[in-house]
Structure 1
């Protein structure tokens, strides 16, 4: 009969307690920590997911995407406003590339909202894949999932090591809150599954949404962040910011990760230098070294001023359709501040010791409040949520959030069809669904953050809710 890992560690504790003295306690405790971690890691990896299973999962995702892209449903999916927006529509990219081939400036009209650098990358992708552009989207989408898998795997490993090193500082009755390696190390596979078979990311890929490439930039940035590769992290953060502008605020959580998780001020400086240098180079390339700035109005002007009021899953289009024109500038400032700097400082200060969670949270805020969101953006942030299995026991809104997401996702295309094609509904119906969709994401984000607060409290004070003789109150301050 094999001895369970918990029995092994308890025997180690008894043996060390029996044979230690005052002088050798520190050395033996370090040895104890090393042995206990080895036992737990071995037990976790015994039950971990095999490489063949990961490969099979990726192949299944490729087959599903390939089938849908060659089916009659591809056009239907690509034409839905939940999937394609003015900023990520492949039709607009194709038109822009055609205009360039005829030596016509694609930014003279109001059709194209991609940067010149993005057009150059798409042009080269077309040259590589030729008529099989669907293979390019599948390749980048599956690559994003694999990168997220290794990102969360590294994050969970670092989290486990940090907690093992600090266990002596935790409350004695907080054992049930400790990380369980057999669950923690499997969460990266659940991230892979969630991204590959999430309907949001699946439809984004099938619908030829350029959000697939944007998600790839974010995934590489997060991978380099957790692995401490500061130069490439800054480069891909600059690429993501050049596409959507909003990711520029991610420089703060990335900086905090290098400071509190990796503990390297040198990497912070290198990352900032890499980000600024790459941003300047991108601007020079896009403006043909200062000769043509016309793309700025079509790309960043469109993101910031919201001139195209085509319905989407965001909150901007309805407000700016209904309001009086002389209030437009006021609401533009209010909405954009809400999405960029309003929550950035307080949430960064509160969760500075949890920089990976902070990065995911700010990505969530960007997705909810950006001017032209799509289901591809939502799918990306939802796929990272399984990397926090240690927070799930403290969450309380899971059923409510899941129900709201399913219902609003199902009703959105139905109400849009009734509004646009059948004239039996109006904009209020569709906006009600998009508002419910945004509220569900907000509930999920706040529940995730509050779960971290609860867990921190339990680790520090245990089950006892009294602090200095008074009843403690948990809050997000």
Structure 2
């Protein structure tokens, strides 16, 4: 980036800096206060026990029991109690023993730290959009330049991202319910941050940690490869990034095996994620389908569902959006939060918090109102129908699954709307307002 562009960015960023600093401090204070009040209130146990927040993979109660068993010299992976990788358990053990803080405060601090990291993620992404805009400005159509980002867009987006995370009910409930997805989101935010800032070692390290925690982030190695391929302009160096990621995964796996004197944990952690033996209801799509499935079809549909959650959409999306790896990453995270085997509200809340990074696409989206209404209705009806089904015995599983299915559809509508908005904006920048081909009106269709 030239010196002139850097100076122009600094001038845009310095505007209303005092106001932004004060706003951010106030947001963090209010966000921390809300979490602190709920964590130490009588609502904490209610929130923490809800299936939308707590799953077999992210329950802190299971982690606590696993740490206790480890302290007594008992293997916590015997049975169906613990589904956290040994190296992640070592992290939890270190945190609980070294920090003289209540567990609740540890979760609160980690959640606030995630909001801080996401602020810098959005700030760096807006910086990249600014450099791309300045570099390609001469290639845009004359009547399409009104769609370019302005100073307020660059300034507001990071603040909106931090606010979306701090005041998102999904992330608040996730923190209050003491779900270990709080730590997963923190490491995922660090991965995004170091990827955008161009740190190969740290981005691969934190992506490897996220993969060890929940397996599904392994597919983010392709957006990581595309990002550094765009930076280095060299396929060899891009594949070196993938190799480093694979080596980091192997190293973490070796450490985990050394901690447990074997690989028995693999079945209880990653086998549990892939084979979905626990059909406790959640906001995902697996549990209902496999409750009704005949056993002799199970393996076929397990493979189908897992392919759908991982590589099915990855390759076509990577080809189409290879020029914007961050947008691709967010799209993949959206799909994973819908189709993974044991999703929770924390997964959805994290990706929703990143939407203000694409504030420049909102004018092109068409499904915002519909998606917002569905989110509101399903978020309210989910706990109600769960209570009617389990406690009042006046509903059944079909009612609750109908709500979770609508919730998943809203997420699909949202991610497709954002991706389509990106394509429409790129078209308008290049060809201008009028959509004509050979002098005739054209219709832009997402294929």
TM-score normalized by the length of structure 2: 0.96
Displacement, 1:52? 2.9
Measured against aligned partners, the alpha-carbon deviations of 1:206-253 in whole angstroms (never above 9, x if no partner) come to: 100000000011100000011000110000000001111110000001
1:328 to 298, 305, 310: 298
Q: Secondary structure of 2:142's partner?
A: coil
> C-alpha displacement at 1:98, in angstroms?
1.0
Structure-2 separation of matches of 1:417 and 1:267:
54
Alignment match, 1:276:
246
Structure 2 partner of 1:421 = 391
Task: Name 2:307's counterpart in structure 1.
Answer: 337
Does 1:240 pair with 2:210?
yes
Deviation of residue 388 (structure 1)?
0.7
SS in 2 for 1:424: coil
Could you tell me which residue of structure 2 aligns to residue 27 of structure 1? none
> Which residue pairs with 2:331 in the alignment?
361
Of 43, 56, 73, the match for 1:86: 56
Structure 1 stretch displaced more, 275-284 or 76-85: 275-284
- Distance in 2, matches of 1:445 and 1:251, equals 20
Q: Among 162, 166, 172, which residue is 1:192 paired with? A: 162
1:169 to 1:90, Cα distance in 2 relative to 1, 3 A: same
Q: In the alignment, does 2:88 pair up with 1:105?
A: no
Shift of 1:276: 1.5
1:29-428 to 2 correspondences below 5 Å: 34=4, 42=11, 45-48=14-17, 49-130=19-100, 132-260=102-230, 263=233, 268-288=238-258, 291-428=261-398
8 A contact 1:149–1:191 mirrored in 2: yes
Q: Could you report, residue by residue, the CA deviation over 1:302-341 in whole angstroms, capped at 9, with x for unpaired residues? A: 1001000000000000000111111111110110000111
Does structure 2 conserve the Cα–Cα contact (< 8 Å) formed by 1:450 and 1:476?
yes
In 1, Cα distance between equivalents of 2:69 and 2:9:
60
Partner SS for 2:354: helix
In the TM superposition, residue 291 of structure 1 has moved relative to its aligned partner by 3.9
Change in Cα spacing, 1:263 to 1:226, as seen in structure 2 (3 Å) is farther
Shift of 1:277: 1.8
CA contact (8 A) 1:184 1:389 kept: no
SS at match of 1:460: helix
User: Under a length normalisation based on structure 1, what TM-score does the superposition of the two structures give?
Assistant: 0.90
Asked if 2 retains the 8 angstrom alpha-carbon contact of 1:228 and 1:262, the reply is no
Given that 1:305 and 1:332 are in contact with CA atoms closer than 8 Å, whether structure 2 keeps it comes out as yes
TM superposition shift of 1:53: 2.4
Closer, same or farther: CA 262–173 of 1 in aligned 2, 3 Å: farther
Q: Where does the alignment leave 5 or more consecutive residues of structure 2 unmatched?
A: none
Distance 1:401 1:426 in 2: 26
Distance 2:232 2:164 in 1: 28
Provide the alpha-carbon RMSD of the alignment. 1.9
Any conservation in 2 of the 1:157–1:185 contact (CA below 8 Å)? no
Structure 1 residue 262: deviation in Å? 6.0
Deviation at 1:130, TM superposition (A): 4.3
Contact 1:314/1:369, CA 8 A, preserved across alignment: yes
Checking the alignment, whether the CA contact within 8 Å between 1:230 and 1:270 is kept in structure 2 is no
User: Quick check: which has more Rg, 1 or 2?
Assistant: 1
Q: Deviations over 1:22-73 (max 9, x none)?
A: xxxxxxxx99x948x8568635632454323212221221121111111101
Stretch of structure 1 that moved more, 323-332 or 430-439: 323-332
